[in-house]
Amino acid sequence: MFDEVVLGIEFFEGLTRIDAAIAGAVAAGGCLRCGCGRLHRSDYDRKPCGGTIGAAVETCRRRFSLCCDRRGCRRRATPPSVRFLGRRVYAGAVVLAACTVALALGAWSPKAVRRATGVPARTVGRWLAWWRGPFTATAVFVALASRLVPAVATADLPASLLARLAGDAKACLGVALRQLAPLTTTSVPDGSRFVRGVGDDPGPSGDPQKMA
């Protein structure tokens, strides 16, 4: 179902609302470093790519970030995000969808992957190597794997994860992006606690707790 999915402006606007709500939750908790400073918005520019799957993501040009107002601290806290998967140039939803499409193509050729996703096959290959390798050693994957029976096939990630989620392609992507959000920051420990229950937008996210 991902080979025909096109992520439009409404999808990314929904993710932006979720990111804004997560940022608000992190700000409300104050500075995690000094314990007494207030966190103020200090966003920075991003230029995400979306290929043909998510060209509309190019309208999302601000990564929400916060900064402590206490002199002597000024620590930056960048909240978890459902739009950006770490420092990758492509949007998180595009990384998930493009990898799933490539796996579905089987013995895929570079031209077939590029034609189907708008993303270079070499780039998709690097993403697939990450899913099968470094990702499986993360706390996020360990937590997910402990909840899924039978176990997720690591060789087929991320498709094997998305296949366990309920809903259409966009809903599955939204749920997965919530689960992956803690991976998108190193400056906010235990980021998952700020994602739970925040910005429940049924458009892009579906039911974050519902798994098949």
Q: Is residue 201 in some structural domain?
A: no
Confidence of residue 27 (pLDDT cuts 50, 70, 90): very high
For residue 206, how far is the Cα from the chain centroid?
Answer: 14
Angstrom distance (rounded) from CA 161 to CA 176: 8
Q: Which of 10-24, 39-53, 89-103, 142-156 has the lowest mean pLDDT?
A: 142-156
The pLDDT score that the predictor gives to residue 1 is 66
Interatomic CA distance for residues 203 and 19, integer angstroms: 14
pLDDT at 103: 93
More confident residue, 203 or 4: 4
On whether residue 21 sits in a domain, the answer given is yes
- Judge whether 183 lies within some domain: yes
Residue range 34-62: average pLDDT?
93
Query: Which residues on adjacent β-strands are paired with residue 63?
Result: 44
Of 88-102, 162-176, 190-204, the least confident: 190-204
**For the residues 1-25, what does the mean pLDDT come to?**
91
In a domain, 141, yes or no: yes
Structure letter (DSSP) for residue 32: T
CA 139 to chain centre: 15
Does the structure show a pLDDT above 50 at 39?
Answer: yes
What pLDDT is stored for residue 107 in this prediction?
60
Could you give the number of structural domains in the chain? 1
202 found inside a domain: no
Instruction: List pLDDT tens digits, range 170-182.
Output: 999 999 999 999 9
Band (pLDDT 50/70/90 cuts) for residue 108 is low
In a domain, 48, yes or no: yes
For 125-155, what is each residue's pLDDT tens digit? 999 999 999 999 999 999 999 988 888 999 9
130 CB-near residues (< 8 Å, 6+ apart): none
Query: Residue range 12-21: average pLDDT?
Result: 96
Judge whether 209 lies within some domain: no
User: What is residue 105's predicted lDDT score, i.e. its pLDDT?
Assistant: 87
Secondary structure class of 105 (helix, strand, coil): coil
Distance (Å, rounded) from C-alpha 92 to C-alpha 70? 33
Find tokens 């992520």 and name the residue: 7
Residue 16 has pLDDT above 80, yes or no: yes
Residue 75: inside a domain: yes
Answer yes or no: is pLDDT of 202 > 50.
Answer: no
Segments forming the whole domain that contains residue 159? 2-195
